[in-house]
Amino acid sequence: MSALQTPLTELLGCRYPIVQTAMGWVATSKLVTATTNAGGFGFLAAATMSTATLRDEIAAVRAATAGPFGVNFHMFQPNAREVIELVLDNADRVRAVSYGRGPDARTIQRFKDAGVLCMPTVGALKHAVKAIELGADIITVQGGEGGGHTGSVPTTLLLPQVLDAVQVPVVAAGGFHSGRGLAGALAFGAAGIAMGTRFLMTAESPVPRETLAKYVAVHDPARIRASTAVDGMPQRMIDNPFLLRLESGGLLHRLFVALASAWHWRAQTGMSVAHMARTFVGALREGDSAIQTMMAANAPVLIQRAMVEGRPDEGVLPSGQVAAVIDSLPPVAELIAGIVAEAEQRLAALAALSRPSGPLSPASGRGEQEPAVSSPLPQAREG
């Protein structure tokens, strides 16, 4: 049995424990189909899709691949209830849902009753524990190196904390891009890895070439940093002129940009003013500050400028720090095949280290017994 067959592959029905995360405006049917056909598991980014668009995207994935796939959403989007019903209507193929601020226990139970796995992404130990209490089947743990909204704890510290605290399969995210990373995550005890930036930087990515060029050009991880200027919460992005202006413009400038973004987002999604008000009140009850709530629409609108409209210097560029070590845009199939081959090689090397030395092992060289090495410690005497 292959070491890459894990509880994650069994639950999700994919060949390899490699998950393509749901990046807004990026995780479209084209990327999800390529991931699924290559043996990974992909999530559609429904959080930035209208209901009609999501219906078409699900249909496109169903037609282009026979494998299962996932859908990502959050409960504050205006069509959240419609997204839930679409997922349930396609439960024969939608194997999992992912979310940050997710649904309540009752809605999670509806997914579970339909055979749809609940796979939230968390950036803190307490959020992982809470997600399990609500009924999560799998936990994705994103360390601080990850792109977009992220915490401050690096993957190497957060991952073992969560592994020790929960009894469900755990997926490691934040800083992964290679087979070495997959082998390392499995050695930690994770059931697989999830990658966003690495899939964003592929041939099947829908991101315009002008924007992708900005990602490829970054070679200094320090230029990919967390900022609160977009929506009041730490979000890791590549430094660019727009972000720097937003940070230097002061609170009033940021609020003005936020109000313009909110109005644009309302028109684009069909959100009513009443729904905007309910969302505002709901966010405040969840513990968000008023400023964060007012700025919430910034992220999708500003990301859209770069990821859809091809204006990278007029929007923001969410990215994990891993972009600084990526210099190519391979096809997804080539990417996954390379990760799998390297992971299997590294795992085989680790297994070889654990085997005892035989008569003809490298340790003895000639098949002769090695001379005993005297201990530097004093020997105990018999009484």
> Read out DSSP for 357-372?
P-TTSTTTSSSPPPPP
Name which of 314, 332, 262 is nearest 78 in CA terms.
262
pLDDT on residue 102: 81
Share of the chain above pLDDT 90, in %: 71
Residue 204 vs residue 370, higher pLDDT: 204
Residue 22 has pLDDT above 80, yes or no: yes
Residue 71 has pLDDT above 60, yes or no: yes
Band of residue 284 on the pLDDT scale cut at 50, 70, 90: very low
The pairing of strands 148-149 and 170-173 is: unpaired
User: Where residue 346 falls among pLDDT bands split at 50, 70, 90?
Assistant: very high
Structure tokens at 35: 């991931």
Q: What is the mean pLDDT of the chain?
A: 86
- Going by their DSSP bridges, the two strands 69-72 and 41-45 should be labelled as parallel
Residue 53: the pLDDT is 97
| pLDDT reported for residue 281 | 55
Mean pLDDT within 72-81: 92
pLDDT at 38 over 70: yes
pLDDT tens string 216-260: 999 999 999 999 888 888 999 999 988 888 888 765 655 555 555
Question: Which is it for strands 170-173 and 192-195: parallel, antiparallel or unpaired?
Answer: parallel
User: pLDDT band at residue 86, thresholds of 50, 70 and 90?
Assistant: very high
Q: How many CB atoms lie within 10 A of CB 292?
A: 16
pLDDT in tens, 96-122: 999 987 899 999 999 999 999 999 999
**Cα–Cα distances in angstroms (integers) from residue 95 to residues 56, 137, 308, 369, in the given order:** 18, 12, 27, 56
Higher pLDDT, 303 or 115: 115
Q: Compute the C-alpha angle 318/222/200, nearest 5°.
A: 30
| pLDDT value at 172 more than 80 | yes
- Strands 148-149 and 235-238 come out as antiparallel
Tokens of 157: 């510290």
Closest CA to 127 of 294, 20, 320, 286: 286
Nearest to 227 by CA among 140, 327, 298: 298
pTM of the model: 0.84
297, amino acid identity: A
Domain ranges of the chain: 7-217+325-332+339-345, 221-321
pLDDT at 100: 85
Q: Which residues pair with 238 in a beta bridge?
A: 224
- Lowest mean pLDDT across 36-40, 295-299, 355-359: 295-299
- pLDDT grade for 269, boundaries at 50, 70 and 90: low
* CATH number for the domain running over 7-217+325-332+339-345: 3.20.20.70
Tokens at 361, concatenated: 């092992």
Gap between the Cα atoms of 103 and 123, Å rounded: 17
pLDDT at 265: 45
DSSP string, 331-344: -HHHHHHHHHHHHH
Return the structure tokens found at 324: 């600084």
Distance, in Å, from the CA atom of 47 to the CA atom of 64, rounded to the nearest integer, reads 22
pLDDT confidence bin for 356, thresholds 50/70/90:
confident
Q: Which residues of 95-113 are buried (b: 16+ CB within 10 A; e: fewer)?
A: bbbbbbebbeeebbeebee
Q: For residue 192, what pLDDT is reported?
A: 98
